[in-house]
């Protein structure tokens, strides 16, 4: 029997919403890339004002200067991201019966607006020095801005996945050990990305200028210690932990009887992302922190978190969908 016109309209509406959510989750990586590139070339203060750039929505000469182009492009992409997030939240609020998903959509709106405010304050308060910390208020806010970006990535991924057709076609529940391992890996990745944010904005990317060893003569530990060396070395130690944890998580996903083909494929891709991320981290040292390698390292880090979170979210699908409506 053919579907009724109402059923076809409902299906078309859900498909359009799923596509819009997927495009929004893809756009967030454009935003991350532009933000990483802006930081990598030191263009975060290309414009000393906010929310306008040199007092204008279209500052003179921004297309001709790399620093101005990077920063203004980042601001414009953030504006697009804010609009997409608000539209998606309203769309879900009006059309989706799942209370948890509607609440998550409004959380995304609050997060993207908070992220915009933190980014703006990072510019406006950059001149307020904190000599005791050898930094400024603006730099501290830049670290927070980078951390919030990763949480926002996960939130957009969650909205897109929950709107997809595959979310409603799950059959066999995934085992509890996969869920627990996924949560642990997500927390480890968020910790690693927080360390990376502190590292970048503390200019500690080359605090240990050799790799894989910490000294030119092959020492595992740095020859001297200060704040930047501690942050850099902690980032390497966490990378070593993740080099074990993520393959174990991928293996658990692959062998779980409830894992779909897509989940097993993503688990394999996760290991590849991990290998690429380690390679890019080494290249940052070997190339003396070129903008291309640093930007790539930040982007692949966000993709690694997104892949891990995507797998973890699917593993929790049955628990989320069985929550009572409110």
- Average pLDDT of the chain to the nearest whole number: 93
Angle between helices 291-315 and 5-40 (to 10 degrees): 150
Within 8 A by CB and 6+ apart from 151, the residues are 111, 190
Last residue of one domain, picked from the residues 130, 153, 169: 169
The model's pLDDT over 186-215, given as tens digits with 9 standing for 90+, comes to 999 999 999 999 999 999 999 999 999 999
The model's pLDDT over 2-55, given as tens digits with 9 standing for 90+, comes to 555 555 666 577 889 999 999 999 999 999 999 999 999 999 999 999 999 999
Same-domain pairing of 151 and 175 = no
Q: For residue 2, tell me if it sits in a domain.
A: no
Torsion of CA 314, 318, 320, 326, to 10 degrees: 150
Provide the token pair at 15.
């498909």
Same-domain pairing of 163 and 200 = no
Separation between Cα atoms, residue 20 and residue 90, nearest integer Å? 12
Within 8 A by CB and 6+ apart from 34, the residues are 70, 73, 74, 77
pLDDT band, very low/low/confident/very high, at 133 (cuts 50, 70, 90): confident
pLDDT band, very low/low/confident/very high, at 171 (cuts 50, 70, 90): low
Which range of residues forms the domain containing residue 95?
7-169
The model's pLDDT over 69-83, given as tens digits with 9 standing for 90+, comes to 999 999 999 999 999
The mean pLDDT value for 153-172 works out to 87
Of the candidates 130, 119, 45, 48, the residue with the CA atom closest to the CA atom of residue 79: 119
pLDDT at 167 over 80: yes
Last residue of one domain, picked from the residues 140, 169, 198: 169
Same-domain pairing of 148 and 192 = no
Burial track 117-156 (b if 16+ CB lie within 10 A, e otherwise): ebbbbbbeebeeeeeeeebbbbbbbbbbbbbbbbbbbbbb
CA distances from 304 to 56, 107, 172, 269, 276 (A): 36, 23, 25, 9, 10
- Burial (Cβ within 10 Å: 0-12, 13-18, ≥19) of residue 164: middle
**What is residue 299's three-state secondary structure?**
helix
Q: For residue 154, tell me if it sits in a domain.
A: yes
Enumerate the H helices of the chain as residue ranges: 5-40, 66-95, 99-124, 137-163, 165-168, 176-201, 227-255, 261-286, 291-315, 317-321
Same-domain pairing of 109 and 216 = no
Same-domain pairing of 148 and 272 = no
Same-domain pairing of 263 and 153 = no
The mean pLDDT value for 270-277 works out to 98
- Burial (Cβ within 10 Å: 0-12, 13-18, ≥19) of residue 210: middle
Residue whose token pair is 């200028």: 209
pLDDT at 182 over 70: yes
Q: For residue 41, tell me if it sits in a domain.
A: yes
Of the candidates 146, 127, 120, the residue with the CA atom closest to the CA atom of residue 52: 120
pLDDT band, very low/low/confident/very high, at 220 (cuts 50, 70, 90): very high
pLDDT at 326 over 50: no
Give the count of domains, the chain.
Answer: 2
Per-residue model confidence (pLDDT) at position 106: 98
Q: For residue 94, tell me if it sits in a domain.
A: yes
Q: For residue 135, tell me if it sits in a domain.
A: yes
Same-domain pairing of 196 and 280 = yes
pLDDT band, very low/low/confident/very high, at 325 (cuts 50, 70, 90): very low
The percent of residues in the chain predicted with pLDDT above 90, rounded, is: 87
Q: For residue 1, tell me if it sits in a domain.
A: no
Same-domain pairing of 123 and 223 = no
Same-domain pairing of 156 and 253 = no
Separation between Cα atoms, residue 214 and residue 113, nearest integer Å? 40
Same-domain pairing of 151 and 290 = no
Beta bridge partners of 135: 130
pLDDT band, very low/low/confident/very high, at 163 (cuts 50, 70, 90): very high
Taking the model in full, what pTM does it have?
Answer: 0.93
Of the candidates 29, 68, 36, 24, the residue with the CA atom closest to the CA atom of residue 289: 36
Same-domain pairing of 153 and 19 = yes
Separation between Cα atoms, residue 321 and residue 99, nearest integer Å? 10
The model's pLDDT over 235-253, given as tens digits with 9 standing for 90+, comes to 999 999 999 999 999 999 9
Per-residue model confidence (pLDDT) at position 7: 56
Last residue of one domain, picked from the residues 169, 192, 216: 169
The model's pLDDT over 289-299, given as tens digits with 9 standing for 90+, comes to 999 999 999 99
Separation between Cα atoms, residue 135 and residue 132, nearest integer Å? 8
Same-domain pairing of 160 and 177 = no
Largest CA distance in the chain: 75
**What is residue 53's three-state secondary structure?**
strand
Q: For residue 215, tell me if it sits in a domain.
A: yes
Per-residue model confidence (pLDDT) at position 205: 95
Q: For residue 130, tell me if it sits in a domain.
A: yes
The mean pLDDT value for 76-93 works out to 97
The mean pLDDT value for 275-279 works out to 98
| Residue 158 and residue 311 in contact, taking contact as beta carbons nearer than 8 Å | no
The model's pLDDT over 1-13, given as tens digits with 9 standing for 90+, comes to 455 555 566 657 7
Q: What is the 3-state secondary structure (H, E, C) of 82-99?
A: HHHHHHHHHHHHHHCCCH
């Amino acid at each position: 029997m053919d579907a009724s016109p109402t059923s076809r309209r409902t299906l078309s509406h859900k498909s359009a919403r799923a596509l819009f959510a997927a495009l929004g989750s893809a756009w967030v990586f454009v935003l991350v890339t532009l933000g990483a590139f802006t930081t990598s070339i030191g263009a975060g203060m290309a414009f000393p004002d906010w929310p306008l750039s040199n007092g204008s929505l279209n500052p003179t000469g921004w297309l001709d200067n790399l620093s101005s182009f990077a920063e203004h492009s980042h601001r414009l992409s953030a504006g697009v991201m804010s609009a997409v997030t608000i539209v998606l939240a309203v769309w879900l609020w009006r059309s989706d019966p799942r209370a948890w998903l509607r609440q998550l959509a409004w959380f995304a709106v609050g997060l993207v607006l908070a992220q915009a405010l933190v980014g703006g304050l990072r510019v406006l308060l950059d001149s307020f020095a904190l000599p005791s910390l050898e930094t400024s208020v603006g730099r501290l806010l830049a670290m927070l801005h980078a951390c919030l970006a990763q949480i926002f990535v996960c939130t957009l991924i969650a909205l897109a996945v929950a709107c997809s057709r595959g979310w409603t076609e799950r059959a066999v529940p995934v085992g509890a050990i996969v869920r627990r391992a996924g949560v642990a890996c997500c927390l480890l990745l968020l910790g690693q990305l927080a360390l990376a944010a502190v590292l970048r904005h503390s200019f500690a990317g080359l605090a240990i200028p050799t790799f894989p060893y910490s000294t030119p003569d092959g020492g595992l530990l740095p020859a001297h210690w200060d704040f930047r060396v501690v942050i850099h070395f902690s980032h390497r130690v966490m990378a070593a932990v993740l080099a074990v944890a993520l393959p174990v998580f991928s293996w658990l996903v692959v062998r779980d009887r409830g894992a779909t083909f897509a989940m097993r494929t993503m688990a394999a891709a996760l290991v590849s992302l991990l290998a690429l991320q380690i390679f890019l981290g080494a290249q940052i040292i070997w190339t003396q922190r070129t903008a291309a390698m640093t930007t790539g390292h930040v982007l692949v880090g966000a993709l690694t978190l997104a892949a891990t979170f995507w797998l973890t979210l699917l593993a929790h699908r049955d628990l989320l969908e069985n929550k009572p409506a409110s």
